[in-house]
Amino acid sequence: MINKMGLENDIQYVLISEERIKARVRELGEQISRDYAGKNPLLVCILRGACVFFTDLARNITDYMEMDFMAVSSYNDGMTSHGIVRIKKDLDTSIEGRHVIIVEDIMDSGNTLDNLTRLLGTRNPASMRIACLLDKPERRAEGIGISPDYCGFTVPNEFVVGYGLDYADAYRNLPYIGVLKPEVYTNVE
Ligand code: PRP
């Protein structure tokens, strides 16, 4: 059981307001619209954390684009220098020859995106870039050589939730990025 005190009460402070997110997502949408004009990019939503950012970003893209969805979990098997990505739900679309934009909520250690780009790269896309709402570079694992091509905000090493990001599957519906009160996730029974 987690020590919930009420959705808003569990938040220590708002790190990125709804207004700032909205403005930044609009800028990213405009940038992607310019960069991919006439290319009909395939936006790949990595479930579940990216779902809120994904739908807002897509609505700020003003040219043709397509959507697909993928769910993965990443772990390190201790056998290789990088980890392994397990596909829980694969894409329905072939990405061969397509311009792919992977949409994520957060890059933390970077293992998920590192493994995922490695995997999707074997499927011969025409190009592949990463759009990530939050980047937490302080947490990056050793040897990760990638970073988001489109980044919403760089964040400090705090326990962030909201706008798709969860703790124990809660808080994804908050319209802002907040820092969780430590008492919510410490002394968990
Ligand atoms: C989160 C997030 C990224 C990953 C980032 O997913 O959505 O996919 O962790 O961490 P990393 O850079 O250290 O690999 P999570 O496994 O919590 O699943 P969720 O998206 O369903 O919340």
CATH number of the domain to which 53 belongs: 3.40.50.2020
Mutate-to-test residue for ligand 1 from 52, 74, 166, highest number of ligand atoms within 8 A of CB? 74
Q: Which atom of ligand 1 is nearest to the CA of 112?
A: 14
Our answer to whether residue 135 is catalytic in this structure is: no
Residue at 164 is within a domain: no
Q: Closest Cα to residue 128, out of 45, 66, 43?
A: 43
Which numbered atom of ligand 1 lies nearest the CA of 105?
Answer: 7
Residue 140 lies in a domain: yes
Domains of the chain: total: 1
Ligand 1 mutation pick, 45, 88, 105, max ligand atoms within 8 A of CB: 105
pLDDT computed for residue 25 by the predictor: 98
Among 10, 56, 105, 108, which one carries the catalytic annotation?
A: 108
Q: Is residue 80 part of a domain?
A: yes
Q: Positive or negative, the Cα torsion across 107, 184, 53, 67? A: positive
Looking at the domain assignment, is residue 40 inside a domain? Answer: yes
SS (HEC) of 70-113: EEEEEECCCCCCCCEEEEEECCCCCCCCCEEEEEEEEECCCHHH
Residue 47 to residue 73: CA distance in whole angstroms: 10
- Whether 108 is covered by a domain: the verdict is yes
Mutating to test ligand 1, I would choose from 54, 103, 107, 108 the residue with most ligand atoms within 8 A of its C-beta, which is: 108
pTM of the model: 0.94
CA 90 to ligand 1 centroid distance, Å: 16
Residue closest by Cα to atom 10 of ligand 1: 108
Per-residue pLDDT of the chain in tens (189 residues, 90 and over written 9): 466 778 999 999 999 999 999 999 999 999 999 999 999 999 999 999 999 999 999 999 999 999 999 999 877 666 555 677 899 999 999 999 999 999 999 999 999 999 999 999 999 999 999 999 999 999 999 999 999 999 999 999 999 999 999 999 999 999 999 999 999 988 665
Query: Could you tell me if 103 and 54 are in contact, meaning their C-beta atoms sit under 8 angstroms apart?
Result: yes
Domain that holds residue 26: 18-158
Ligand 1 geometric centre to CA of 177 (Å): 15
24, part of any domain: yes
Looking at residue 50, its pLDDT comes to 98
For residue 26, is it within any domain? yes
CA distances from 175 to 21, 62, 66, 89 (A): 9, 23, 25, 26
Which 3 state secondary structure label does DSSP give 152? strand
Cis peptide upstream of residue 24 (ω within 30 degrees of 0): no
* Residue 11 belongs to some domain of the structure: no
